[in-house]
Structure 1
Amino acid sequence: MKSKLIAAFSFLALALAASPAPAAEEKTIAEVVAGSKDHTILLALVKEAGLAETLSGKGEWTVFAPTDEAFKKIDKETLAKVKGDKELLKKILLTHAVKGTWGSGEVVKLDGKEVETLSGTKFKVTVKDKTVMVGDAKVTAADLKASNGVVHVIDTVLMPK
């Protein structure tokens, strides 16, 4: 489990390190997320979780990245509880990662099926009128390609079950 945690979140931890911005095709998932003004809370939570290990660049991940607005939907009491419990925080962050690179073409083919996240939680994928939902989260931007996978932006924080 420890190695899964380290591997799953190492890509986000890279965002905490200062480095020159590589070309778009060369950016890691961490650098893609770090370059977004809409993901500051996600990055802060990664730091709070103590996930400072870095990914060597190998591995393929799909990350469903909740925006700051998605985190603001969570009541302050719940968010404070999560911040105070590193294991719960890590589990929630793992709930946003899937092993492998799942571009929008692959995700759309999962309509009506479940996808299992690195936390072990499963979410049903639904597609209706060009709207893709993963559980209760709507995909608002897709296929932000990285050297080690892909990021899909979502409007709701996925909670482990």
Structure 2
Amino acid sequence: MKPFFVIASAIALTATTPALADHHRSSTIVETAIASPQHETLVAAVKAAGLVDTLAGQGPFTVFAPTDSAFAKLPEDTVATLLKPENVTTLRSVLTYHVVAGKVSASELIGMIDENGGSAQLKTVQGALLTASLSDGKVILTDSEGGTASVVQADLKASNGIIHATDTVSMPG
């Protein structure tokens, strides 16, 4: 009887392990960001901008998601000002500047950079371009104003796309 129990337990563990490993794959980009302790400011901004339904939609999307510490680098009161209802258009512009249509993994992005002579232009949902390049093995995003952000965590998979956490808020210019 004992060997049957061991085999049955092993089968049950094998059957549930992929589900645990794929937890984020079954969550949308918004649900994945909500579950992240590093993206509370981003989640508040997405809610204030009315973009929850969009980013929870079918996609796929690639989101370069600034961490809370990235938002903390902005000049004092910037986030509070952006979150005001009268600034929703500006907030949407900043947020959609961090979103690219399609699902682009870190390895695919590095391949695009290599294929294009050291940089790749990414057209954002906002309409402007982000430029991706490599420096010391890290993906660096250069925004319309010349500011740079590093990808600090890559390939957070979601059911409707992928998230790459960044250390700086990119500005559309």
Equivalents in 1 of 2:39, 2:68: separation in Å?
Answer: 5
Structure with higher Rg: it is 2
- Cα RMSD over matched residues? 1.8
Q: Which residue of 2 aligns with 1:64?
A: 64
| Structure 1 runs not aligned, ≥5 long | 1-21
Equivalents in 1 of 2:51, 2:107: separation in Å?
Answer: 31
Q: 1:68 to 1:56 in 2, by over 3 A?
A: closer
Q: 1:114 to 1:82 in 2, by over 3 A?
A: same
Equivalents in 2 of 1:55, 1:129: separation in Å?
Answer: 31
1:39–1:66 contact (8 Å) kept in structure 2? yes
TM-score w.r.t. the length of structure 2 is 0.74
Q: Which residue of 1 aligns with 2:5?
A: none
Q: Which residue of 2 aligns with 1:160?
A: 172
| Percent sequence identity over aligned pairs | 39
| Structure 2 runs not aligned, ≥5 long | 1-21, 114-118, 143-147
TM-score w.r.t. the length of structure 1 is 0.79
Matches within 5 A, 1:78-93: 78-84=78-84, 85-93=87-95
2:24–2:156 contact (8 Å) kept in structure 1? no
Equivalents in 1 of 2:56, 2:48: separation in Å?
Answer: 21
| Corresponding residue SS for 1:53 | helix
1:57: Cα distance to partner? 4.8
Number of residue-to-residue matches in the alignment: 140
Q: 1:41 to 1:110 in 2, by over 3 A?
A: same
1:23: Cα distance to partner? 2.8
1:52: Cα distance to partner? 4.8
Which structure has the highest helix share of the two? 2
Equivalents in 1 of 2:42, 2:74: separation in Å?
Answer: 13
Are positions 1:116 and 2:123 aligned together? yes
Equivalents in 1 of 2:28, 2:131: separation in Å?
Answer: 27
| Corresponding residue SS for 1:150 | strand
Given residue 153 of structure 2, which amino acid in structure 1 is its aligned partner? Answer: A
